[in-house]
Chains A and B, each alone.
Chain A
Amino acid sequence: MKKQEKVDKTIVVPGDLLSEDAAKAAEGTYVENGKVYSLIYGLADEREKVRVIPLSGKYLPATGDVVVGMVSDISFSNWKVDINSPYEALMHISEYPRRIESSEMAKIMGVGDLAIFKVVDVDPSMKIELAPREGQLRVLRSGRVVEVSYTKVPRVIGRAGSMISLLKSKLDVNIFVGKNGRIWINGKVEDEDLAVKVIKRIEQEAHTSGLTDRITKLLEEEKHGVHEKR
């Protein structure tokens, strides 16, 4: 076992006691009789507060999230969008940047098309409304999409975007990471392939430390390999 691949946080399961101090309770925990327990299977992260970072689970949208969605159906005035969540989201025809007729909807964005959306409203019963991101609808017509668990998105992005910057600096690709775990990659075929491989690796090893170093190394080796083959 390589030392750097050690899990840097404690793995906990639902019901594990995390703290005797109720004031320390944060996400992924609950308080009972003044004590803090884990609500989920995940990694306990104790600082001023104690929270549990999930290792799995379904994405729940929040207002402001930017996601990669896929049109699953079109009704008279709404696009129904699968956002990799238990809940289907809607984008109303009026959210489209210009005025269009209902009959034009399928041409603009048809069933099976992917696009980048912003979550503009989530009501208490989880009815979700979407709008185009930054007022411009971007339908993703080329490139590839990979899905990772939404819980791994922070690792794919890295601290202050470091992992994504690393990928973009080593590969000639465009990468967009949706909060819902859908990642769009667009570039040369070899670079796309490598990006997919690297992202899958990040997903697998998201709970280990020293990940950035290992990914840097992987990229160096693979890039080298790619050039040698030619």
Chain B
Amino acid sequence: MEFMKNGKRIDNRLPNELRPIKFEVGALERADGSCYVEHGGNKIMAAVYGPRAVHPRHLQQANRAIIRYRYNMASFSVEERRRPGPDRRSIEISKVSREAIDPVIIKEFYPRSTIDIFVEILQADAGTRSAGINAASVALADAGVPMRGLISSCAVGKVDDTVVLDLVKEEDNYGQADMPVAMDVRTGEVTLLQMDGHLTLDEFEQALELGKIGCASIAKMQREALIQKYRGEEDE
């Protein structure tokens, strides 16, 4: 498969270009905080409940809140219908996503409680874990959860020996490497890093640099979406 033509990718983007991204803050009524995101063909809803009481109780921590994160794909979110419920992939993604967000949350304010983050993939189109983390981070802010910053995430990878930002399905499936990263853009601290495929050390450095740029653009959009929620109401 040929991925790069005249410096452009199969969907006509430049190597360092993100797909179109749209955040909607407060998309749900019942949740304490929520965010709907469309990122390329991904359609994802994130909701936060909490801090709230922990059930079962033995999971309680005496001096801080626990964080739970559930990444779940709707059965119709992919080409072939998927059996509902967690599989090994979604359990791993839930774990690394939780660990990506956990470091910025001030858990000590809420002993014996839980902050539950639910991410539903309604349509999947490569990069769902990153887009889910971006939405979850906004939903946490919307819920009023104290955090040192927002976490932003994107994937970088390699196709036709070119390092590219924000892979689409074909690039993800048939490309040479895929590397999702998440970070607190202000401090530059990386909170999620996964890689599979083949990268030289030089390419890795390039990819990480590109990932940083991607996350910085996303962080701006996350911030803007949160501010827009209250600007919007002002217009009524």
Contact = CB atoms under 8 A, between A and B. Distances in A.
A and B touch in the complex (CB under 8 A): yes
Dominant secondary structure of chain B at its interface with chain A: mixed
Name which of A54, A86, A124 has the most chain B CB atoms within 10 A of its CB.
A86
B144 A58 contact: yes
Contacts of A205: 233
Dominant secondary structure of chain A at its interface with chain B: loop
Given A56-B33, A151-B144, A207-B230, A86 B53 contact: yes
A86 B113 CA distance: 7
A204 B112 contact: no
Contact of A41 (B104, B226, B234): B226
A88 B222 CA distance: 34
Given A7-B230, A55-B230, A58-B50, A124 B111 contact: yes
Contact of B233 (A32, A125, A204): A204
Given A14-B149, A86-B110, A87-B112, A7 B231 contact: yes
A41 B62 contact: no
Contacts of A194: none
Given A7-B230, A14-B104, A124-B111, A30 B32 contact: no
Given A40-B146, A41-B142, A125-B63, A11 B226 contact: yes
B53 A125 contact: no
A10 to B, nearest CB: 9
A146 to B, nearest CB: 16
A39 B148 contact: yes
B122 interface: no
Contact of A15 (B33, B63, B106, B147): B147
B184 A15 contact: yes
Contact of B109 (A14, A15, A60): A60
Interface string A81-114: 0000011100000000000000000000000000
A207 B229 CA distance: 12
B93 interface: no
Given A56-B144, A125-B111, A207-B230, A15 B50 contact: no
Nearest to A41: B141
Contacts of A5: 234
Given A1-B234, A11-B226, A56-B32, A39 B150 contact: no
Contacts of B147: 14-15, 39-40
B52 interface: yes
A226 interface: no
A208 interface: yes
Interface string B209-236: 0000000000000110011001101110
Given A13-B227, A15-B150, A39-B147, A56 B142 contact: yes
B112 A208 contact: no
A159 to B, nearest CB: 21
Interface of B: 32-33, 50-53, 62-63, 104, 106, 109-113, 141-150, 184, 186, 222-223, 226-227, 230-231, 233-235
